Chain A
């Protein structure tokens, strides 16, 4: 009888501990969100979203050009990183036993652990030296950061699709490539989309590689071989500035960035929800 009571107490305390741990884990998320929303909300107005960055001393202004620049840079990086990551992930999943797969996986893991500043410097050496600070250089660096993430999550998602599904398709006389593309990918799409989203969120928030490949840019987009404005850099530059309106812009940028990431999350969730019960 006594043992049962002890068990009940232990069970209760563990439960309470678990709840506390959960709350502790969520506190940073909510406090950051809260802070950003509070401080940044006041900055959001139509000007904010449509005006380019103000110069020193200029009042008002917005981050429209930074939004544009971030979108273009991240977009360009995805154009390289997503297909590359997808194909690698599919290969590693479907040809898991091939001799070359182990080394690829290893290097992929190593690459995903590289400090982003190092990737930035690599891009600097390769591209900035050739064509100068540019969107291209930044996108290149971001693509290198993005690819291993997409590769790994794609491989995991594909592997989760049970072998029986592949077998059924092949037994139906569907060629292997079609099986992978139409059947397996379709089953893995939620996981893959999540992976891409994770990667997007990561690179949208990268600052160090962008700094060494593009630097601060005050104007609208001016071509791929020129730098462009960037939300994360804006936050950096504006936050440490002595101007109040700039600081407000920094908070606003932070809010936009967070909303952007949140938005992608929601869209992807909705698009890949289970259509059937």
Chain B
């Protein structure tokens, strides 16, 4: 197996909400062009972890971070680092699909570009089409691009959000329980999409559904009460976990 490099090298990451210590000394290396799942019971800090990767954690009042997150080798929490630039390199998809309600499907996908000053219609058309194709939504909406983003079904809305994130050509896709609000068929479509995305992007997905983590990911990290308990290839972790707590969690003996 050829040497795969690490997209993220997280060193001693700590995070707080006010005085509440939600992430405790997390150190982990995320492989590039692979799907890494983060699992754990509610409140274990998995959402906080990925929000630290694109510096979204700190926008909440009283939120604080310490430690290093090396992205492509450079610490994103460096004093000179610009959070806006960092976020442009990472696409984020949230638990509840959130297309911009007052914009059409076309405008939704183009939003990331338009809001950054790109006006060239031809280029926007290209990007919108390409992104919707990547998100496996193009065929379903190509004749209705002017309809409101909110007029789509839940699964379609989530794919729209994925297309919107892909349009700015990020290097990483961060997904926070993207299928929680969706029915099984929509979930299956998105899981297939995630595996396809892994060929070109580094994907980090938070999920509370262990079977989903087992299906979709190459590597899995298990968090509990803000600490990293175990991290390894999905195959090994689900067949023969090294930590007893991991074993208990994935066999459903707690949580």
Contact = CB atoms under 8 A, between A and B. Distances in A.
A164 interface: yes
A171 B54 contact: yes
B56 A169 contact: no
B151 interface: yes
B87 A170 contact: yes
A73 B56 CA distance: 46
A162 B59 CA distance: 15
A274 B104 CA distance: 11
Given A170-B87, A172-B87, A174-B116, A276 B94 contact: no
A206 B168 CA distance: 51
A168 B161 contact: yes
Interface string B155-184: 000000100110010000000000000000
Interface stretch (B72-80, B95-103, B240-248): B95-103
Given A172-B115, A174-B115, A178-B115, A167 B98 contact: yes
Tell me if A's interface is mostly helix, strand, loop or mixed.
helix
Interface string B77-113: 0000000111111111010101111101000000110
Interface stretch (A115-123, A148-156, A181-189, A227-235): A181-189
B39 to A, nearest CB: 22
A165 interface: yes
Nearest to B89: A173
B87 A165 contact: no
A276 B107 CA distance: 12
Interface in A235-277: 274, 276-277
Interface residues of A, number: 22
Contacts of B59: 170
A168 B147 CA distance: 20
A250 to B, nearest CB: 44
A223 interface: no
Contacts of A164: 94, 96, 98
A168 B87 contact: no
Given A173-B84, A173-B88, A277 B56 contact: no
Nearest to B102: A187
A58 interface: no
A182 B115 contact: yes
Contacts of A167: 56, 94, 98
Nearest to A190: B102
Nearest to A174: B115
Contacts of A162: 98
A126 to B, nearest CB: 38
B112 A172 contact: yes
A168 B115 contact: no
A165 B111 contact: no
Contacts of A277: 147-148, 151
B88 A165 contact: no
A162 B56 CA distance: 17
A172 B165 contact: yes
Interface string B37-53: 00000000000000000
A173 B87 contact: yes
Contacts of B90: 171
Nearest to A189: B102
Nearest to A163: B98
A186 B88 CA distance: 22
Given A173-B112, A178-B115, A276-B146, A168 B168 contact: no
Contacts of B112: 172-174
Given A170-B59, A171-B87, A276 B151 contact: yes
Interface string B183-214: 00000000000000000000000000000000
Contacts of A172: 87-88, 91, 111-112, 115, 164-165, 168
A175 interface: yes
A191 to B, nearest CB: 12
A237 B170 CA distance: 68
Nearest to A187: B102
A97 B18 CA distance: 14
24 contacts: A165-B100, A167-B98, A168-B98, A168-B100, A169-B115, A171-B54, A171-B92, A171-B94, A172-B88, A172-B164, A172-B168, A173-B88, A173-B116, A174-B112, A175-B84, A182-B115, A183-B111, A183-B115, A187-B100, A187-B101, A276-B104, A276-B147, A276-B151, A277-B147
Interface of B: 54, 56, 59, 61, 84-92, 94, 96, 98-102, 104, 111-112, 115-116, 146-148, 151, 161, 164-165, 168
The 3 closest A-B pairs by CB, nearest first: A173-B88, A276-B148, A171-B92
